[in-house]
Structure 1
Amino acid sequence: MEANKATFQPGAELLTDLAELRAEVDVCLRRLADGELPTDVERERVDLKEEAGRRGAGGVLLDGTPRNTSAATQLADEVACMANTPGGGALIVGVNDRTGDLIGTDLDPEWLKHQIYRRIDVAPQVEVRYERGIPLVVLLVSEAREPVEDTGNRLRWRVGANCVPVDRSAWWVHRQDRVGWDEMARPSRMTVDDISPGAVAVARDYLRGRPANDGLADESTEEVLRRLGLLTVEGTLTQAGALLFCPAPRAWLSWARWDVQGGEVLAATDARAGTSLLEQVAQTEALLDGANDRVTLPGSFSERLVRLLPPRAAREAVLNGVVHRDWHQAEATTVTWVEADASLEVVSPGGFVGGVNAGNVLTQRYSRSPALADAVRALGLVDKQGIGVDRMYREMVTLGHRPPLLVEEPGPRVRVRLTGGKPVVPVMRLVDEIEPRERQTDVRVAMILHTLLHEPFITAQRGAEVLQRTVEEADEALHVAGSCVVGGSPLIEPYRDVWVLSRASTELTLQAAGDLAVLKRQGVLTYLRPDPVEATRVVRRWLAVHDRVSSGDYATLTELTYAGARRALERMVTDGLLERGETAGRNAHFLPAGVMRSGPRKSDQSDVPSAEALEVDG
């Protein structure tokens, strides 16, 4: 390589920013060690914090704990402030912010990072460092691409040594001066005079429906637009504002209602020409609401009326197709309802971007148009966690429906399909019994439970596929689900090296259904007391990740007796699927057919039988 030649390092800008933040942290700590007070040491990008909840009566310092929810909420608010601040910032936790004394902290960094992410959808880099033998936690926060609201729905950034309120307009004006800013934040030539009155009325309706009603819906149009971040200081609308509020030259949304897939079209319409995007969204929602019938649940279930398709999941699908589409393409986002399936398909122009693909939509987030996405969030159309694919998954599976289908097709375009129908009441009852109650809305628990209602067991590797996470993260999620209870008993239980649905969960589900056959017709718990076809499927699943199956294994998976399980496995020997191992009695086991002739197999989960011998169904 030529001497003194400059080299390129991917992500070098981010690494440089983090290095600069660490250097500022070092300076602050060095000045504290020299006896300076926090008021003299703190700066715009570095804040000193004493861990919340560490003081008892009379200001006595209490012992620290690895998991302090008060501190997690406190720090989530401060991280949100730093994320909104130009260049980001750092928090040093474990310092008396009046005297500068180091009091330390025992917070678990991985737990803290996850708790902050849960609260504000930002995951800072969390590091532990020791100063004079005292443990401190340092949070390094990168500048956000979109405004970040704290746990109190406030938008703040750091000015000097303090976090102060900022409105969205000021945030996006600043963003225009940064590299990589969003085209939707550009000023347009449109003004308030160009706005459609219908769009203003729709916006006010959406604002009144927000969980945090701050009276914005009743403010002047200019104030509404300013606080939504859609009006510049010069009085012009941003590109996002003009798109949402001004009449459009074409339909950005089209609607069709079919009787069956590829059958007769019962109704079809493009959004009205000359209406704004907000009005087109509201019109499409009204059509969807009319098509999405209500059903009455039997028995005494707490929620008597539900929709064939969860409305929140349907709204997320439509808004995903609008907000994340490619606005340089002229064709409309198409919304199709199929009557017979109670299914919804949304097809939007433009493929996946920003590293998102069909295999990581649950965990990877990227917005093609951050300013537009932020305005939609501020209007209350979606929650502050983003345009929630995870919400779609959770809403669907907790009613017993299939998870959403998201695929990229030639064009490119993205197709989202939700298939509803009558909810599976036993599944709803099981979810409704989960404690602690906040886990009922945990998408990880929902997806693990959905998997175990349809598959006899789950491994960390399978969990990684289902949750679109690493094996280590899936293992953590399985333990989280394992800590949940129903009726005082575990929701799921470990068995050998896998997890299974607990007996309490299966009994509660069966009780709600009244008959196992009813559940099986709905595709739930088909592996319990299975028919011959399903029995073969259960054994093949087990042998795909194990080198042998015992009567005890099969009995645990199917809730048969040991004797019944052994007879079932012996029938598979007769059918040529299995052969008996060399041991007998309590150690008796069965191997895939042909193993004894070809020699012993290594007992290893990575040693999967050939596809020809052990084809795994579905």
Structure 2
Amino acid sequence: MTLDATDAISPLGVLPPPGPTCIHLPLDVTPEGLARHAVGLANARGGTVLVGVDAVSGSARDAGELHPLMITHAIFELSGGRLTVNVQHHRLPGGARVLAVFVPHAPYVLAAPDGSVITWDGAHLVPVTPGEAEPVADQDFTATVPPDASLADLDPAEVARLRGLGRRASAANLPDLDFLRELGLLIPSGGALRPTLAAILLAGTPAALRAHVPQSEVCFYHHQTTDVEFQFREDLLRPIPALLTRLAELIQARNRFTPVQVGLFRIEVWDQDEVVYREALLNALTHRDYTLRDAVHVHHFPDRLEIMNPGGLPGGITPGNILRHQPKRRNPLLAESLARLGLVERAGVGVDKMYSLMLRHGKEPPEYTTYPDSVTLALHSPGFDAEFVRFVARKQEDMQTLSLDVLIVLSLLAREGEATRAALARALQLPEDRTPRLLRGMEEHGLIRRAGVGRGIAYVLSDEVRGALGRPALPAVEAAPPALAAAAAVVAPVVVPATPVPAPEPVQPAAPKVARAPRRPSDSSGPNTAEVRAIALALAREHGRVRNVDLRGACGITTQQAWRTLRRLVQDGLLRKLGTGTRDAAYELLS
């Protein structure tokens, strides 16, 4: 289930112990001390700093008093603007909260606030010396050979399944042993060929999986409602290809599609697109941390599919840069074998493919939520924009393929109505100064236009695109009022006669007509995004809390639109979520 950052509970229920990629700090750590440890961890390999672990039990205080945005800003400033971290609160089962600071691996050596160059050795901060050897790469756990593993641990039927998947591979026509050796799954050890853990994960017998990698189990849950209670569960301990086949059967058994007619063609939009969820499952099984004794959990709700993966994202990758970060393989041998079999992409474009397909089908993009010891991917499917699907399909018919960046901008504006350049940069996962070229190009092609003036400038869909989506055109922005000097009439000098006579009163310039302030464009069908946010906060202030149904009734919006607004207010630190689910949860103002 999707949890808000302020009330997130680790799905695995425990905090990772201190070590090479995790640092525990007390609640009273100074900003300088926290920044030093963050820099040291970034210089090592990246990881997580947990603040307030000492106050988890038996204390009246916890890390809830520390504001994530203040911590992010402090580390950024104290590192000289070179280290940006992701900070979240995490509520543990006992109720206490800790602060998790996710630190990326620095691309170059950073200096601490006091100017020292330090790194984290797994237990202490130590100086980085010029003569220090290059850091040793992390060991590939899937490339190890279990001490008592043998060829008897491999299932011939699963090897045949692998061969069927790898028909494009050059080794597909080799005998079984040569085929597995060519993939790097068998290596000489102790005078005999023996399987690696990657071989057992791909073609192992049930007994071998239980003996060597019991953590490769996948638990599937089916939920009839959006609540946490499930009606069906199946625990699967099978090789990865067999796992994918069975999981696809379980998901497709409860999957539905809606036909969308586009001219003479029909597009089937599934609640869960098979290409998307297969890519998500493959990523989970390929890049999870197999050193952790925890299973992958797959929850199938009526409105979303959630995949909970042990180990979190590889070092340096966060939900905010996953589209742009260079791909990292936690299990290189397993990933390379699957790539040679044609199941995963070597170029690391699996996430891009998921984003693109979901946006083309008028849905929200995948949503990643990170925890200290795991990561959750949510594929939402409460509905889709059929007109957006038709618009994208017609563009493709006209030989105008829309790039992923263009789809992200169009999809966001179609959902939200308008967005600033900063908001679009966050959605694109790009620095704000790298967005003007893309936005100018979209303006030139008549896809978007600017609205507002000065600092209030925002981007909206063009009238042509709005018409294609079946939405009314936005009113034009009124011109700014003319300058006062230009509006005033010029008074000619008055000639005074020789005889003293009263001078005529000077002619007063006509008062300039006060122009109305430019209106922000809004959809005539209802309040815009900013107005809905303001109404939600007002309801919470007046009644103590606000629910999805309250916001729908006040604004005349859908359940999904109300949920999206409330979720963003929680993420912005303005509301706190009480309860679970979409309809039963309530939200109150943060004091």
When normalised by structure 2's length, the TM-score is: 0.52
Partner AA of 1:259 in structure 2? Q
Residue 434 and residue 216 in structure 1: after superposition, are their counterparts in 2 closer, same or farther (change >3 A)? farther
Equivalent residues in 2 for 1:438-449, closer than 5 Å: 440=401, 442-449=403-410
Q: 1:375 aligns with which of 317, 324, 337?
A: 337
Residue in structure 2 matching 1:230, options 177, 185, 188: 185
Cα distance in structure 2, aligned partners of 1:370 and 1:376: 10
- Supply the distance in 1 between the matched residues of 2:442 and 2:183 (Cα, whole angstroms): 38
Map of 1:305-316 to 2, 5 A cutoff?
Answer: 305-316=268-279
- 1:220 aligned partner: 175
Asked whether the 8 Å contact 2:319–2:369 carries over to 1, the reply is yes
> Cα gap change, 1:322/1:466 in structure 2, threshold over 3 Å: closer, same or farther?
same
Structure 2 counterpart of 1:183, one-letter code? F
CA distance in 1, matches of 2:283, 2:516: 47
Does 2:201 match 1:239?
no
Q: Structure 1 pair 225/445, CA: closer, same or farther in 2 (3 Å)? A: farther
- Residue 425 of structure 1: which of 365, 368, 386 is its match? 386
Question: Distance between the aligned counterparts of 1:334 and 1:438, measured in 2?
Answer: 41
Within 5 Å, which residues of 2 pair with 1:553-592? Answer: 554-555=520-521, 558=523
- Cα deviations across residues 348-393 of structure 1 (Å, max 9, x unaligned)? 1122331122222222233322222222222222223226223222
Quote how far apart the aligned CAs of 1:244 are: 1.9
1:274-353 matched pairs, under 5 angstroms: 275-298=238-261, 300=263, 302-338=265-301, 340-341=302-303, 343-353=304-314
Q: Report whether the alignment pairs 1:196 with 2:155.
A: yes
Number of residues of Structure 1 aligned to a counterpart in Structure 2: 351
* 3-state secondary structure, aligned to 1:554: coil
1:503 maps to what in 2? 463
Equivalent-residue separation in structure 1 for 2:519 and 2:184 (angstroms): 59
Q: Which residue of 1 aligns with 2:219?
A: 254
AA aligned to 1:322 is L
Map of 1:13-24 to 2, 5 A cutoff? Answer: none
Q: Deviations over 1:185-205 (max 9, x none)?
A: 334564544311332243234
Contact 1:407-1:415 at 8 Å conserved across structures: yes
In structure 2, give the amino acid aligned to 1:492.
I
Q: 3-state SS of the aligned residue for 2:337?
A: helix
Residues 1:504 and 1:216: Cα distance change in structure 2 (over 3 Å): farther
Output one character per residue of 1:302-325: Cα deviation in whole Å (capped at 9) or x when no partner.
344332112222112222222222
Asked if the contact 1:458/1:500 (under 8 Å) is kept, the reply is: yes
Cα distance, 1:240 vs. partner? 1.8
Whole-Å separation in 2 of the counterparts to 1:436 and 1:9: 53
Change (3 A) 1:230 1:477: farther
Deviation at 1:466, TM superposition (A): 0.7
Q: Matched residues in 2 for 1:9 and 1:270: separation?
A: 40
- Separation in structure 2 between the aligned mates of residue 454 and residue 395 of structure 1, nearest angstrom: 16
Q: Secondary structure at the residue paired with 1:297?
A: strand
* Distance in 2 of aligned mates of 1:201 and 1:289: 25
Equivalent positions of 1:339-488 (< 5 A) are 340-341=302-303, 343-364=304-325, 365-386=327-348, 388-409=350-371, 412-434=373-395, 440=401, 442-482=403-443, 485=445
Q: Kindly state the Cα deviation for residue 263 of structure 1 after the two structures are TM-superposed.
A: 6.2
| CA deviation vs aligned residue, 1:423-454 (integer Å, no higher than 9, x gap) | 42211111123369887463211111111102
Contact kept, 8 Å, 2:169 with 2:340, in 1: the verdict is: no
CA RMSD of aligned residues (A): 4.1
* 1:258-299: CA deviation from partner (whole Å, max 9, x where unpaired): 101226633211014xx3233223322222232222333346
Q: In structure 2, what is the equivalent of residue 183 of structure 1?
A: 141
- Measured against aligned partners, the alpha-carbon deviations of 1:467-503 in whole angstroms (never above 9, x if no partner) come to 11111223333245445x5xxxx22234565432111
Cα pair distance change 1:501/1:388, threshold 3 Å: same
- Give the structure 1 partner of residue 84 of structure 2: none
1:224 maps to amino acid: F
Distance 1:299 1:453 in 2: 19
Residues 253 and 281 in structure 1, CA contact (< 8 A), matched pair in contact too = no
SS class of match (2:343): coil
TM-score, scaled to structure 1: 0.50
Structure 2 CA distance, aligned partners of 1:205 and 1:551?
68
- Which AA in structure 2 matches 1:382? V
Partners of 2:276 and 2:441 lie apart in 1 by: 24
Q: Deviations over 1:127-147 (max 9, x none)?
A: xxxxxxxxxxxxxxxxxxxxx
Separation in 2 of the partners of 1:415 and 1:353?
13
The residue matched to 2:324 in structure 1 has which SS? coil
Task: Give the AA of the match of 2:199.
Answer: G
Higher RCO (C-alpha under 8 Å, 6+ residues apart) = 2
Taking a change above 3 Å as real, the CA distance of residues 199 and 433 of structure 1, as seen in their structure-2 partners, is same
The alignment partner of 2:315 has SS state of coil
Task: Say which SS state the counterpart of residue 286 (structure 1) adopts.
Answer: helix
Structure 1 residue 337: deviation in Å?
0.8
Cα distance in 2, alignment partners of residues 223 and 215 from structure 1: 11
SS in 2 for 1:329: coil
Distance 1:300 1:480, change over 3 A: same
- Contact 1:394–1:441 under 8 Å retained in 2: no
Verify the 8 A CA contact 1:377 1:386 in the aligned structure 2.
no
Q: Secondary structure at the match of 2:265?
A: coil
C-alpha spacing 1:264/1:186, structure 2 compared with 1 (3 Å):
closer
CA gap of 1:500–1:9, structure 2 versus 1, over 3 A, is same
Paired position in structure 2 for 1:144: none
Q: Encode CA deviations 1:53-74: one digit per residue, 9 max, x unaligned.
A: xxxxxxxxxxxxxxxxxxxxxx
Distance 1:241 1:471, change over 3 A: same
- Contact map agreement 1:256 1:269 (CA 8 A) in 2: yes
The yes-or-no answer on 1:491 pairing with 2:454 is no
Describe the SS at the equivalent of 2:308: strand
Alignment-derived partner of residue 112 in structure 2: none
Distance 2:398 2:442 in 1: 12
Q: Secondary structure at the match of 1:232?
A: strand
* Aligned mates of 1:370, 1:346 — CA distance in 2: 21
* 4+ aligned runs moved over 6 Å, structure 1: 8-13, 435-439
Q: Deviations over 1:32-88 (max 9, x none)?
A: xxxxxxxxxxxxxxxxxxxxxxxxxxxxxxxxxxxxxxxxxxxxxxxxxxxxxxxxx
CA contact (8 A) 1:285 1:315 kept: yes
Q: Distance in 1 between matches of 2:151 and 2:440?
A: 53
